[in-house]
Structure 1
């Protein structure tokens, strides 16, 4: 492990937050690509094609929206991953250079809340799949019909199984996540390809959905296109912030770029047509489109297909939940209490907190849940903008490792608060979400991620260069510490 030149503050440091040295970074481009494959292949992304077509796009235009969204995501992810790969640091530590050691808790808490909530919702969705599948292959399962806290006993059993699977994977540590994704990512795409081949066979071609024309033209098309791109990016806005949590374990910048290119835009452009072709087949077989893969398995009523498909859905959910939600939430919790929490303890705490959200009750108000999560995701665009501006422009890709783990150092700001970052975040976040509440500003809502990221990027540089309040101006005797790359 990298030795820090100065004694770190125990409130800001433990072994899980320390820089990962190069000789302890096991992931190459293939590991990262399969991790992203596992995350891109999930029920939410599968159903996103339905949402786009419901807006009036043709199948080809859906692919264009997906291509633009994932191209922008790829650029944002790669840029924000650079610092993680260079220094081996997680998001919750890197963010201190802009927001300060105390102010950093604001975006960390926001990201942590979003991660645990998404984990809870997606894990419950997977438990519903398990519940439905068990009722198909074992009819006696549904006799466990006693209701407790708003859920049947067979629902509780399915939920317990899903929670236990998440705990089992997390109990084996970071390295096991890489090995799990190495299998899970390709397995999900193989099963998706099998479903697409079934669709091509049943439909004798690409199917009726590809034959549907576009219903959008002119400005209506442009506005809806922008909203579609923003909507897809909203699903990944939280991960654009904490991608260093993954890239810190990657051997080189080349590996992280190649891995993310294959895992993000390439995989998305392969997976989306699979979803459309498979759904086209349901129009022919059942007379209407079935976009939910669980509903499709139940409609097919084939035990073998149900078992294989159900297992794939569960694996896909585990893939996205472990890497995109539990792992970043663990680092966020460790950052709050580094003296009491390590990775394993925080993983169990995430499982408990996720259960405390009682997602089965929230599912009765699905519109409210996703409206809340979309607002939170919109607020994370400004965090991305601040991080990129701070690292690439203000710091010129040079960070002082010792100062990231101490108070009264280079990143102290005003009593631990990075005022420029906080102001840029508040203003950018306000503009990103105001369109959701003020109809006349609806255009801002359609471009919320871009507005929040762009405004915060610009304002942070303006505020940080305009003599904004800095504790160093109040404490002139505190020496400036030279930027260091560290012994990586």
Structure 2
């Protein structure tokens, strides 16, 4: 059961996993933060994102420009949104109570939790395909296990069980062991990516045909597509721009947080994206058409050693992104719903179970529907980012009464636990960010949906929020020194 809440704290808002991390236990360095991001950035979805950009008509160099702008914006948003976590040691689901109230906070927390479980399910099924390729190479007759159950063959069920078990093993060792896993996994996947890039350069005797492909976009069409590309890349990480305090609460200083994210986010993305383009360029030479799905590429190469090592790398890459970007935040979100019943171990196990119930094998190949749903949800999280930034920097002026975040009836309670300005701003920003998907006359907003959501959410929240007295210096837990 959860630890007893301190005197004056509400047991429905507190347990040991939601408690502020004391300064003595905030021991993540810039290296830990950088390697965690390395483990998240080089995943299958990001690898394939370059194909979407090139399909829009960009040249390879323009793809890199889109990635550079998108990840620089993300870095800035996460840098500022991470600061409260580093200063006070609190997770997203507690920090968000400052703006939404302890009851109203459940709205963005549930939305963020849904996204985390959804992405966990999608990424894990992709890893299961890689595991299935490995097992079919090592075990004769593996694919003959073709008994179908709930629309999926038995050999894929076994591959999924293996992937889910690996996730459970890593997550079951706790947050600090996750840090140690990422310290190895992040750089290792980058190293394997460099080997694949050297292979691609050898096959293509240079950058290859994709880097020679000219841009098909010019003038207004270019800038419209550029905005859409930047927004799409940001959309993949819009969920993490919200809950970055879940990681930054363990970092020892603001300096470590900033340096680690700068190295692990924009810099790693700028290294990883050309790796994907170069490797795919080699497939054009070998097979006559680009192959962006790495599992399909491994099967196409049809070399046992390459299939096993490449598949293992894909599994490792998926584990590294899922445990930090999906299982950890989803577990905190579930703990926030039931702090009396759940701790991190139980909540992370529940995430694994919920991931199966999403049944990704039934719709995995319908990418258009997947991304339409995720873009819609991502558009709704833009206002949450704007509200959080406006609340912490402009309304609270970076000073929080930490104990009040763990009890009802205090300065953050709003009206019976609900803060109307945040809820109205969330609704207004969500409507504006998503309107372009439903109203053709506002289609132009879709290209900048995340930016519209952030701006609208922050603006409406500030307009509706009264100026509040700051907490006294001795009200909250002392922040860590930067």
1:475 aligns with: none
Separation in structure 2 between the aligned mates of residue 273 and residue 380 of structure 1, nearest angstrom? 29
Q: Which moved more, 1:293-302 or 1:443-452?
A: 293-302
- Tell me how far 1:69 sits from its aligned partner: 0.1
Contact residue 6 and residue 402 of structure 1 kept, 8 A: no
Cα distance in 2 between the residues matched to 1:131 and 1:274: 24
Using the alignment, how far apart are the partners of 1:70 and 1:206 within structure 2? 23
**Structure 2 residue aligned with 1:473:** none
* Number of the residue aligned with 2:162: 161
Q: How far did residue 443 of structure 1 move? A: 1.1
Equivalent position SS for 2:442 = helix
1:486 to 474, 477, 480: 477
* Map of 1:123 onto structure 2: 124
Task: Write the distance in 1 (CA, Å) between the matches of 2:238 and 2:196.
Answer: 29
Q: 1:250-399 maps to which residues of 2 (within 5 A)? A: 250-399=251-400
> Using a 3 Å threshold, how does the CA distance of structure 1 residues 304 and 480 change in structure 2: closer, same or farther?
closer
Q: Which runs of 5+ in 2 are unaligned?
A: none
Aligned residue for 1:355, secondary structure, equals helix
Structure-1 residue corresponding to 2:455: 454
Following the alignment from structure 1 to structure 2, what is the Cα–Cα distance between the partners of residues 240 and 113? 15
**SS at structure 1 position matched to 2:424:** helix
Contact 2:433-2:450 at 8 Å conserved across structures: yes
Matched, 1:193 2:194: yes
Query: Which residue matches 1:217?
Result: 218
Partner Cα separation in structure 1 for residue 365 and residue 59 of structure 2? 31
**Quick check: 1:409–1:480 contact (8 Å CA) kept in 2?**
no
Tell me by how many angstroms 1:236 deviates. Answer: 0.1
Match of 1:51 in 2: 52
The CA deviation at 1:26 is 2.2
- Deviation of the 1:4 alpha carbon: 9.4
Q: CA deviation digits over 1:44-85, x for unaligned, max 9?
A: 000001110010000000000000000000000000000000
Q: Provide the rounded CA distance (Å) in 2 between the counterparts of 1:438 and 1:293.
A: 36
List alignment gaps of at least 5 residues for structure 1: 468-478
Distance 1:356 1:56, change over 3 A: same
Residues 366 and 273 of structure 1: CA distance in aligned 2, closer, same or farther (over 3 Å): closer
Contact 1:58/1:210, CA 8 A, preserved across alignment: yes
CA contact (8 A) 1:32 1:263 kept: yes
- Mapped pair 1:137 → 2:138: yes
| Counterparts of 1:420 and 1:6, CA distance in 2 | 30
1:406 aligns with 2:407: yes
Alpha-carbon offset, residue 407 of structure 1: 0.6
1:485 deviation in Å?
3.9
Counterpart of 2:363 in 1: which secondary structure? helix
Q: Which SS does the other structure have where 1:74 is aligned?
A: helix
Count of residue pairs brought into register by the alignment: 475
Residue by residue over 1:286-339, the C-alpha shift from the partner in whole angstroms, topping out at 9 and shown as x without a partner, is 111111111111111111111111111001001111111110000000000101
Look up the match of 1:96. Answer: 97
TM-score, normalised with respect to structure 1: 0.95
Residue 465 of structure 2 aligns to a residue whose secondary structure is helix
Asked if 1:30 corresponds to 2:35, the answer is: no
How far did residue 402 of structure 1 move?
A: 1.2
Does 1:248 pair with 2:249?
yes
Question: Is 2:133–2:307's contact at 8 Å kept on the other side of the alignment?
Answer: no
- Cα distance in 1 for residues equivalent to 2:445 and 2:289: 35
Q: Which residue of 2 aligns with 1:470?
A: none
SS in 2 for 1:274: helix
Task: State the distance in 2 between where 1:183 and 1:447 align.
Answer: 36
Q: Secondary structure at the match of 1:139?
A: coil
Asked whether the 8 Å contact 2:133–2:311 carries over to 1, the reply is no
Output the CA distance in 2 between the equivalents of 1:481 and 1:316: 43
Alpha-carbon distance in structure 1 between the residues aligned to 2:413 and 2:316: 43
Q: 1:200, 1:277 within 8 Å by CA — same for their partners in 2?
A: yes
Q: Which shows bigger deviation, 369-378 or 132-141? A: 132-141
Give the C-alpha shift of residue 134 in structure 1: 2.0
Does 2:153 match 1:152?
yes
1:147 offset after TM fit, Å? Answer: 0.5
CA distance in 1, matches of 2:28, 2:90: 15
Alpha-carbon distance in 1 for matches of 2:193, 2:107: 39
Q: Distance in 2 between matches of 1:120 and 1:392?
A: 35
Decide whether the 8 Å contact of 1:133 with 1:298 is kept in 2.
no
Q: Tell me which residue corresponds to 1:41.
A: 42
The answer to whether the aligner puts 1:420 opposite 2:411 as a matched pair is no
User: Residues of 1 paired with 2:106 and 2:176: CA distance?
Assistant: 27
Residue 371 of structure 1 and its aligned partner are, at CA, apart by 1.1
**Distance in 1, Cα, partners of 2:207 & 2:240:** 33
Q: Where has structure 1 moved over 6 Å in runs of 4 or more?
A: none
Structure 1: how far apart are the matches of 2:207 and 2:365?
36
Name the CA distance, whole Å, in 1 between partners of 2:283 and 2:235.
28
Contact between 1:147 and 1:153, CA under 8 Å: does it hold in 2? yes
| Native 8 Å contact 1:420 1:464 kept in 2 | yes
Equivalent position of 1:237 in the other structure: 238
Q: CA deviation at 1:442?
A: 1.1
Displacement after TM superposition at 1:481 (Å):
5.8
CA distance in 2, matches of 1:191, 1:139: 27
